[in-house]
Amino acid sequence: MASPAPSTPGQARPAAPRFSATPTASAPIRSSPTPSSGAAPGPFATLCETCHPQGGTAPGTGPSLRGVARRHSPGFIRAQILNGRGDMPGFRDRLKGEELERLLAYLQTLEGEPPFNRSPPPVDPEAATRGQELFRQRCESCHLEGGRWPGSGLGFEPPAPVLIDELRRHTPAFIARQIREGGGQMPAVGADLTDAQVADLIAYLSALALEDQGD
């Protein structure tokens, strides 16, 4: 089935539904060994709490981690923790074995919709228009409706995320690296793009996110 063409930034549209997905069965996360109170394990308090406060439930320097296990596969989360991405450092040299599994199990308990802590800045309409064309060429087959809908029904588990929400959770540096390098189920769709082209893609997504805030 062909994906519907995204509308020009600023055009009226229906509200995007949220989704709930179960982490992929491959590379499973173990059952949570944390206390029934939901207290964060030692590795989280040591390595993560500074940027992801209140046990990861609230946004800080980094985004809220509520629902992260629904939005991303266990493999993506492991790689993010070990290797870092964008503004986040990697902890491969400080977190191994059982500690990593304890941390992953704890993240699976953080349920609910995460609050957003970033508001996209105003964008150049011409940059957004160029980014829309790039999105159609590189991204729309997986991220439906210009990134406004989860990529369900395409064989992804979890579904490809709602990009305008990801934009309000993460910094432009994180988004740019994701476009260039991929990660988890996502290929490196922008490995051959220039810095200006990546910026145009982010401008397009920013325009959609700003439009969504105005609904």
**CATH numeric code, 125-213:** 1.10.760.10
Domains 42-108 and 125-213 share a fold: yes
- The reply to whether CATH 1.10.760.10 applies to domain 42-108 is yes
25 pLDDT above the threshold of 60:
no
pLDDT in tens, 148-203: 666 655 666 677 778 888 888 888 888 898 899 887 778 888 999 999 999 999 99
Residue among 183, 201, 181, 205 nearest 192 (CA): 181
- How many Å separate Cα 32 from the centre of its chain? 23
pLDDT in tens, 112-135: 888 877 777 788 999 999 999 999
10 Å Cβ neighbour count for 84? 15
CA-to-CA dists, residue 191 to 73, 170, 176, 179, 194, angstroms: 22, 20, 10, 7, 9
CA-to-CA dists, residue 158 to 32, 71, 74, angstroms: 20, 6, 10
Instruction: With cut-offs at 50, 70 and 90, classify the pLDDT of residue 109.
Output: very high
38 pLDDT above the threshold of 80:
no
Domain locations along the chain: 42-108, 125-213
Tell me what pLDDT residue 39 has: 64
Dig out the tokens for 26 from the structure.
């491959």
Dig out the tokens for 126 from the structure.
């011409």
- How many Å separate Cα 117 from the centre of its chain? 13
